[in-house]
Structure 1
Amino acid sequence: MKQTEPVALVTGASSGFGLLTAVALARRGYRTIATMRNPENSTDLLKKAAAAGVEEAIVVLPMDVTDQAQIHQTVSAVLQAYGRIDVLINNAGFAAGGFVEDVPMDIWRKQIETNVFGVIAVTKAVLPAMRQRGSGCIVNIGSVAGRIAFPGYGPYSTSKFALEGFSEALRLEMKPFGVRVVLLEPGPYRTDIWQKGFGSMSGRADSPYRHALQRVLRYSKKAAETAPDPAQVADRIVQIVESARPKLRYLLGWSPALSLMGKALLPWRWYEYIVERLMR
């Protein structure tokens, strides 16, 4: 490896945005460290990389973002092998759903542990190397759900709202050190995070929210079926990390932009009415 070859670390690279971003970065000449809880799940990633002719540029390493010791072990191994981490893509996460009363506390804790504390832990492990080099780019994969909460997705929205505050603070802290911090806010895209989420919605047969949850699921599945190609997000991430002065926030998708505009401009009671209508 050439000493000047940039190094990117991507979490949650076994599927979805993480997989596509790892391949897209490798295409642009990055030595890409694709991390995931179980490296045996790298089959789809390596097939995609081979088809793009960049399999040799991708290194698969284990990283469970809820395991502090493994985070430090993996980050230390990368720094020892390559001497640098230029880009961090905080993508690992999952979507937990259900109406607040029905979601067990252990699911709430798991959601926050992965989507919030996991991002914080990986970022803290990478920051010293970036700060010392005086350069780097950190991209946190948030969601429009971090700006607009939707019934039935309380745990997921809570985690993404938290990521908004974390990213703002980190951006201001790291700017004097030459480290760029960016927050992506994609709307629905055709990734398996939603299919997995649909199958793990918390609810009971006798729940007073059962019918409302069914309406939420019908609406969500319809949105997922017409969602755009997630490769668009991966391509946008590459553009962002190669930008000298990226913005803090990037809202991706036309429907999120309309939703945010409606929430900002309409009185809250009108917004509530629209959501209620959508759920009928």
Structure 2
Amino acid sequence: MLSILITGCSSGIGYHCARALHDAGHLVVASCRNGDDVTRLQQEGLHCVQLDMNSESSIESGLAEALALTNGKLDLLFNNAAYGQPGALEDLPTEALRRQFETNLFGWHHLTRAVVPLMLKQGSGKIVQNSSVLGLVAMKYRGAYNASKFALEGYTDTLRLELSDTPIHVSLIEPGPIESQFRANAKAQFEANIDMPASRHARGYQRTLDRLGKPGPSNRFTLGPEAVLKPLQAIISSPAPAPRYYVTQPTYIMGVLRRILPTQWLDKIVSKSD
């Protein structure tokens, strides 16, 4: 039985992984930003703590609560809490970009910094970062999210190098489209922060809103959150996890195209997506 902390567990990938690993017998501590979600998961029988990635004090108190549940041990940290802020970069308020990085990178950094000394002291540990195909290839109107995930990729590669002489293993999971509340949350962020009528991208934005508001899977390549659980289980069971795990066909395709195509050709392919 391993002690595992997973962030961003109110729904989607985080919830599914927390539920499945708990049912498999691991000591899983899920975390959520909102208190109501914490209560809901606790009522379902999960260990859950409140942890807001936008607040250093919340991260510290949430980790302390988690460690109280695990008797001070943490075998695996799965950084998963994130959201997407759509909109063309020219229309994106700087504060919205700052909030995107606060949740998708800076909060992860603060939590990771707190966990590394603990894992070094106990002589083992695994850190898993949930990235995205958009950490490999950029797409328009996703600049804030693209930037946060590209930054996460570089951050995690550096962390892996710096911990290579320690017993801590660092891995990235890179999913494409996964069934979750991600699109609904992204739509809300777009409407809150982007002045669509004043933008030259209004027509493209309408297609974006149609996509974000579409019920059901976003496209035929969309998989359920169990697709992310599979590599996470592989990381848990492996004595030497791989640096990267691709999830969904689009990630495999884009990973190959990024390596073999000239930038101009790849731009033509990805520019067709709104």
TM-score with structure 2 length normalisation? 0.90
Structure 2 unpaired stretches of 5+: none
Q: Give yes or no for the alignment of 1:6 onto 2:6.
A: no
Deviation of residue 114 (structure 1)?
A: 0.7
Query: Cα–Cα, structure 1 residues 275 and 215, in superposed 2: closer, same or farther, change >3 Å?
Result: farther
Q: Aligned letter for 2:262? A: P
Please give the residue correspondences for 1:261-280 in structure 2 after superposition, counting only pairs within 5 Å. 261-278=256-273
Counterpart in the other structure of 1:20 = 16
Question: What's the RMSD between the two structures over aligned residues?
Answer: 2.0
Q: Give yes or no for the alignment of 1:36 onto 2:32.
A: yes
Q: Secondary structure at the match of 2:171?
A: strand
C-alpha distance in 2 between matches for 1:38 and 1:17: 17
C-alpha distance in 1 between matches for 2:60 and 2:189: 30
C-alpha distance in 2 between matches for 1:146 and 1:19: 22
Q: 2:140 aligns with which of 151, 168, 172?
A: 151
Q: Give yes or no for the alignment of 1:213 onto 2:205.
A: yes
Q: Secondary structure at the match of 1:34?
A: strand
Which stretch shows the higher mean deviation, 59-68 or 230-239?
Answer: 230-239
Deviation of residue 73 (structure 1)?
A: 2.1
Work out the percentage of aligned pairs sharing the same amino acid: 32
TM-score with structure 1 length normalisation? 0.88
Q: Aligned letter for 1:12? A: G
The total of aligned residue pairs comes to 267
Q: 1:204 aligns with which of 186, 196, 205?
A: 196
C-alpha distance in 2 between matches for 1:90 and 1:148: 21
Which stretch shows the higher mean deviation, 253-262 or 150-159?
Answer: 253-262
Deviation of residue 89 (structure 1)?
A: 0.7
C-alpha distance in 1 between matches for 2:10 and 2:242: 27
Q: 1:224 aligns with which of 218, 225, 235?
A: 218
Q: Give yes or no for the alignment of 1:72 onto 2:66.
A: no
Counterpart in the other structure of 2:239 = 244
Q: Give yes or no for the alignment of 1:60 onto 2:48.
A: yes
Counterpart in the other structure of 1:257 = 252
Contact 1:146 1:163 in 2 (8 A): yes
Counterpart in the other structure of 2:81 = 92
Q: Aligned letter for 2:125? A: G
Deviation of residue 263 (structure 1)?
A: 2.9
Query: Cα–Cα, structure 1 residues 234 and 44, in superposed 2: closer, same or farther, change >3 Å?
Result: farther
Deviation of residue 234 (structure 1)?
A: 1.8
Contact 2:80 2:130 in 1 (8 A): yes
Contact 1:145 1:161 in 2 (8 A): yes
Q: Secondary structure at the match of 1:76?
A: helix
